[in-house]
């Protein structure tokens, strides 16, 4: 595969989509991001990495972090699934409605309530954000990856809905650590700044069925398969069906404009373009992944 030519073609094809939509404005620090950025990187299972555009410009990973905290939590066992479901929500990612109807058990680990439970579970093994940061530094090979302090402060100042979700779950005894501590770790994990190359390198363990870049195994085959399955059904908020239809890969988006997708046995792909559609997914990012699977013929279907 000539990835340089492929990625150049994709960048040309999706150029009309770049800047369509709107940057996330409910987090003030994200509202100031240059809207016409676009980057895309592919990390192959054999270690090769390829990119185009702004693929080496750091951005706020936001909800893409949820894939990795889920993997780290499951590396300690699957008891987490007693606390969070695996079904699509059909509601906004920060909705309180389902929690009351379902006795404080979040519908899946990628909506905010579910991700808070995952962070709470990972906190049994130390500070979840610091554990995630070390994982990214090791997998990407870039020790300079860190937390964007401005984004973290901005998120912390605008975290009332997440605070409400966490305390509501605590009332059902589905939060096992003090809520302020979990919220702090959750905000910091979402505020990590990475490049497309960093994210793709860090996610390729899912394309290798659980094996990390150093050859050690993070997850068993079944756990890696299940994370990919939940990414496919729940990874793009309430647009997962449309994403599966257009792209045909497990994926997880973030309101920073990033999307990470997995081609099992082949590669991990990360695309970044900050302008979002009404459901919180990058307009140009989805278009780029659509072109990627169309041009390569690589899909799980």
> Which residues are tagged catalytic?
63, 66, 186, 237, 255
Phi, psi of 150 (to 5 degrees): -65, -45
CB 63 within 8 Å of CB 110: yes
Angle at 270 between CA 217 and CA 152, to 5 degrees: 90
Structure-token pair, residue 97: 């409605």
CB 280 within 8 Å of CB 93: yes
| For the chain, the helix, strand and coil percentages under 3-state DSSP, each to the nearest 5 | 50, 15, 35
CB 232 within 8 Å of CB 240: yes
Closest CA to 219 of 112, 43, 68: 68
| Nearest-angstrom CA–CA distance, 201 and 180 | 32
């Amino acid at each position: 595969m000539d990835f340089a030519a492929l990625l150049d073609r994709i960048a040309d094809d999706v150029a009309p989509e770049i800047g369509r939509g709107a940057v996330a404005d409910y987090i003030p620090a994200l509202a100031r991001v240059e809207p016409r950025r676009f980057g895309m990187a592919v990390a192959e299972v054999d270690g090769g990495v390829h990119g185009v555009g702004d693929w080496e410009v750091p951005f706020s990973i936001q909800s893409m972090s949820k894939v990795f905290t889920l993997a780290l939590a499951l590396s300690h066992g699957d008891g987490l699934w007693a606390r969070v479901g695996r079904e699509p929500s059909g509601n906004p990612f920060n909705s309180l409605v389902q929690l009351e109807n379902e006795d404080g058990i979040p519908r899946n680990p990628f909506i905010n309530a579910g991700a808070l439970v995952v962070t709470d579970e990972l906190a049994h093994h130390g500070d979840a954000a610091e554990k995630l940061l070390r994982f990214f530094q090791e997998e990407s090979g870039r020790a300079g990856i860190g937390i964007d302090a401005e984004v973290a402060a901005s998120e912390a100042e605008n975290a009332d809905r997440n605070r409400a979700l966490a305390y509501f779950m605590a009332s059902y005894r589905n939060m096992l650590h003090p809520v302020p501590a979990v919220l702090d770790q959750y905000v910091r994990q979402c505020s990590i700044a990475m490049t497309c190359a960093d994210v793709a390198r860090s996610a390729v363990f899912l394309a290798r069925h659980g094996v990390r870049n150093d050859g050690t195994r993070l997850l068993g085959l079944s756990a890696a398969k299940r994370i990919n399955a939940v990414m496919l059904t729940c990874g793009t908020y309430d647009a997962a069906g449309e994403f599966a239809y257009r792209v045909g890969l497990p994926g997880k988006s973030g309101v920073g404009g990033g999307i990470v997708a997995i081609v099992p046995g082949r590669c991990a792909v990360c695309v970044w373009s900050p302008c979002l559609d009404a459901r919180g997914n990058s307009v140009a990012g989805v278009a780029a992944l659509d072109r990627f699977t169309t041009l390569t013929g690589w899909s799980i279907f």
